[in-house]
């Protein structure tokens, strides 16, 4: 799932559902539909304007505004006490919301509670998505009065796009041009849908992106891009492997889960060109090669060092040392040296030997 860069987009989702202020609270019921003109209740949607928000929703919006103020005091990247805000389309079920909340809790417990964070959950109704877009932009305006409602509503990749195309994504909003800094995760009804096992690990994947970007303090786009790397091998590879690893450790997950998923990712070796480095593969048509083999690179790196060196120490030193400086400090060699060994030695091993590095 590609992380959406702050200046590029302002995220997306569908017709109104309630905000769920904390993961321990029950799902709030959908707004009652108005009587549909065609007599079909399934096609009818209704969204509350911000002035009609419930007290819980108003408190959540206020907490986002407070987070904006605290960010100016240097609290970006620190563990937060407040939980994520949850918004959803009118066609999203309570079970879907609760499932998303559950796996957010798993991730934040394992990696730390970072934010401010919003989840926007989209269903399959385009009409509901349009209404949720309105609510999204109202809340953006409340949290940052400099935001243009017109530009927000007309952004290219909105909640209707998610209703049509599915997928999931993170929008990190932290730039020199915006007052509010925070994270916006969008989950949808397909690719994967909530009935699929992959939905759970995708929530973990997107939250690991929150973890990554919370550890990059700069507001400058070029600096943030440099520290997380422009191409997906590092950021996506890390999110993918850490999500699969954490999911595999949960109670009730079959013992072979991690290995079967990582074995499947090796299929991308067939599409890696001779002499090509995963570092040079951009997002786009061939981006999945970098996702898959990037996950293997992180597994390779952790196996040669430790999970603590990767997840804790590298990100702890990232802002001071920069990407390459923190890499050398915590892993003992340059990223080029590790990539060379990964391509020229590790990827040429037989399957059984590759699988030995996995826990």
DSSP string, 46-86: ----GGG--HHHHHHHHHHHHHHHHHTTT-TTS--SSPPEE
Per domain, the residue ranges of the chain are 3-219, 229-355
Tokens of 157: 């990749």
Which residue is associated with the tokens 């001779």? 274
pLDDT on residue 355: 98
Distance CA 46, CA 15 (A): 7
Mean pLDDT over all residues of the chain?
A: 85
Tokens of 237: 């590879």
- DSSP H helices in the chain: 55-71, 94-111, 126-143, 149-153, 159-165, 198-214, 221-228, 232-248, 257-265, 287-304, 307, 315-331, 335-344, 351-355
More confident residue, 284 or 8: 284
Full strand arrangement of the beta sheet holding 169-173: 3-4, 169-173, 182-187, 117-121, 85-88
What percent of the chain clears pLDDT 70, i.e. is strictly above it?
79
Which residue, 239, 140, 220, is CA-closest to 182?
140
Q: Are 163 and 128 in contact (CB under 8 A)?
A: yes
Which residue is associated with the tokens 């109104």? 16
More confident residue, 220 or 3: 220
What percent of the chain clears pLDDT 90, i.e. is strictly above it?
79
How far, in Å, are 33, 91, 226 from residue 222 at the CA level? Answer: 46, 39, 6
Distance CA 11, CA 232 (A): 20
How far, in Å, are 64, 159, 242, 271 from residue 115 at the CA level? Answer: 10, 21, 19, 37
pLDDT at 69 over 70: no
Three-state secondary structure of 204-238: HHHHHHHHHHHCCCCCCHHHHHHHHCCCHHHHHHH
Tokens of 64: 């986002």
More confident residue, 297 or 8: 297
pLDDT on residue 75: 83
pLDDT at 139 over 80: yes
For the segment 2-27, the average pLDDT, to the nearest whole number, is 36
pLDDT on residue 315: 98
């Amino acid at each position: 799932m590609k992380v959406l860069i702050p200046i590029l987009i302002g995220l997306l989702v569908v017709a109104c559902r309630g905000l769920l202020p904390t993961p321990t609270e029950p799902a709030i019921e959908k707004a009652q539909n108005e009587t549909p003109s065609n007599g079909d209740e399934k096609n009818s949607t209704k969204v509350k304007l911000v002035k009609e928000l419930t007290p819980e929703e108003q408190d959540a919006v206020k907490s986002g505004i407070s987070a904006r103020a605290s960010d100016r005091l240097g609290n970006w990247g620190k563990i937060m006490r407040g939980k994520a805000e949850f918004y959803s389309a009118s066609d999203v079920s309570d079970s879907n919301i609760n499932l998303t909340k559950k796996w957010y809790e798993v991730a934040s417990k394992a990696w730390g509670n970072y934010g401010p964070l919003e989840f926007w959950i989209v269903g399959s109704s385009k009409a509901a998505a349009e209404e949720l877009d309105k609510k999204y932009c109202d809340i953006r305006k409340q949290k940052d009065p400099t935001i243009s409602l017109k530009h927000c509503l007309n952004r290219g990749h909105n909640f209707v796009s998610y209703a049509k195309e599915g997928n999931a994504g993170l929008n990190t909003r932290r730039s020199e041009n915006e007052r509010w800094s925070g994270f916006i995760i969008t989950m949808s009804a397909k690719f994967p849908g909530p009935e699929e096992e992959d939905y759970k690990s995708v929530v973990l994947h997107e939250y690991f992106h929150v973890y990554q970007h919370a550890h990059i303090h700069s507001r400058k786009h070029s600096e943030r891009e440099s520290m997380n790397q422009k191409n997906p091998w590092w950021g996506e590879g890390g999110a993918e492997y850490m999500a699969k690893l954490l999911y595999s450790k949960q109670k009730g997950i079959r013992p072979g889960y991690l290995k079967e998923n990582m074995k499947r990712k090796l299929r991308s070796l067939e599409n890696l060109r001779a002499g090509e480095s995963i570092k040079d593969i951009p997002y786009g048509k061939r981006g999945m090669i970098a996702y898959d083999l990037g996950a293997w690179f992180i597994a390779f790196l952790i196996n040669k060092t430790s999970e603590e060196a990767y997840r804790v120490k590298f990100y702890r030193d990232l802002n001071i040392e920069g990407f390459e400086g923190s890499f050398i400090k915590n892993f003992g060699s340059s990223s080029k040296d590790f990539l060379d060994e990964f391509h020229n030695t590790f990827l040429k091993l037989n399957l059984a030997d590759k699988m030995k590095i996995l826990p």
